[in-house]
Amino acid sequence: MTALIRFFNEVGKLKFIKRMGWILGGVKESETESIADHSFRLALMSWYFADKKGLDVGKVIKMSLVHDLCTIYSGDLTPYDNLVTGDFKHDKAILAKWPRRAKEEKERMVREQREKEEVSFNKLLANLPEKFAQEIRGLWLDYESGETKEGRFLAQIDRVEKLMQATEYRANDKYLTEIDPFWIQLKELVDDPDLIHFIEAMDKDFYQTGQNESQATSTKTAH
Amino acid sequence: MKKMYLTKETLDKLKQELEHLTNVKRKEVTARIAKAREYGDISENSEYDAARDDQSFIEGRIAELQEILKDSKVLEKPSSTDFVSIGSCVVVEVDGQNDEFEIVSSIEANPIQGRISNESLVGKALLGSKVGDTITVSSTIKATYKILEIK
- The enclosing H or E element of B98 equals strand B97-104
The residue segments making up the domain with residue A121 are: 2-222
CATH number of the domain at A185, please: 1.10.3210.10
Alpha-carbon dihedral angle through residues A176, A180, A183, A186, given to the nearest 10 degrees: -100
In the predicted model, is pLDDT for residue B83 greater than 80? yes
Per-residue confidence band for A85, with pLDDT thresholds at 50, 70 and 90: confident
d(CA A211, CA B19): 52
Selection from A54, A174, A177 nearest residue B1 by Cα: A54
* B11-47: b (≥16 Cβ within 10 Å) or e: beebeeebeebeeebeeebeebbeebeeeeeeeebee
Per-residue confidence band for A221, with pLDDT thresholds at 50, 70 and 90: very low
* Nearest chain B alpha carbon to A151: B107
d(CA B62, CA B58): 6
- CB within 8 Å: A187 and B102: no
- The pLDDT of residue B77: 74
| B146: region left, alpha or beta (phi > 0 left; psi from -120 to 50 alpha) | beta
Using DSSP's 3-state secondary structure scheme, residue A87 falls into coil
A11 interface with B at CB cutoff 8 Å: no
On chain B, the residues whose CB falls within 8 A of the CB of A195 are none
More reliable by pLDDT, A19 or B1: A19
d(CA B65, CA B79): 28
Provide the number of structural domains found in chain A. 1
Per-residue confidence band for A218, with pLDDT thresholds at 50, 70 and 90: very low
d(CA A161, CA A167): 10
Pick the CATH number of B89-150 from 3.10.50.30, 3.40.50.2300, 3.30.360.10, 1.20.1540.10: 3.10.50.30
- The enclosing H or E element of A218 equals helix A211-222
Residues 6+ apart with CB under 8 A from B21: B58, B61, B62, B65
More reliable by pLDDT, B74 or B136: B136
Looking at residue A179, the DSSP 8-state letter turns out to be: -
Can you give the residue ranges of every domain in chain B?
4-74, 89-150
Of B99, B119, B141, the CB nearest to A191: B119
The CATH code belonging to domain B4-74 is 1.10.287.180
In the predicted model, is pLDDT for residue B10 greater than 90? no
Mean pLDDT (chain A) is 89
Give the phi and the psi of residue B11 in degrees, each rounded to 5: -60, -45
ipTM score of complex: 0.86
Q: Are B72 and B4 in contact (CB under 8 A)?
A: yes
On chain B, the residues whose CB falls within 8 A of the CB of A187 are 120-122, 137, 139, 143
On chain A, the residues whose CB falls within 8 A of the CB of B99 are 100-101
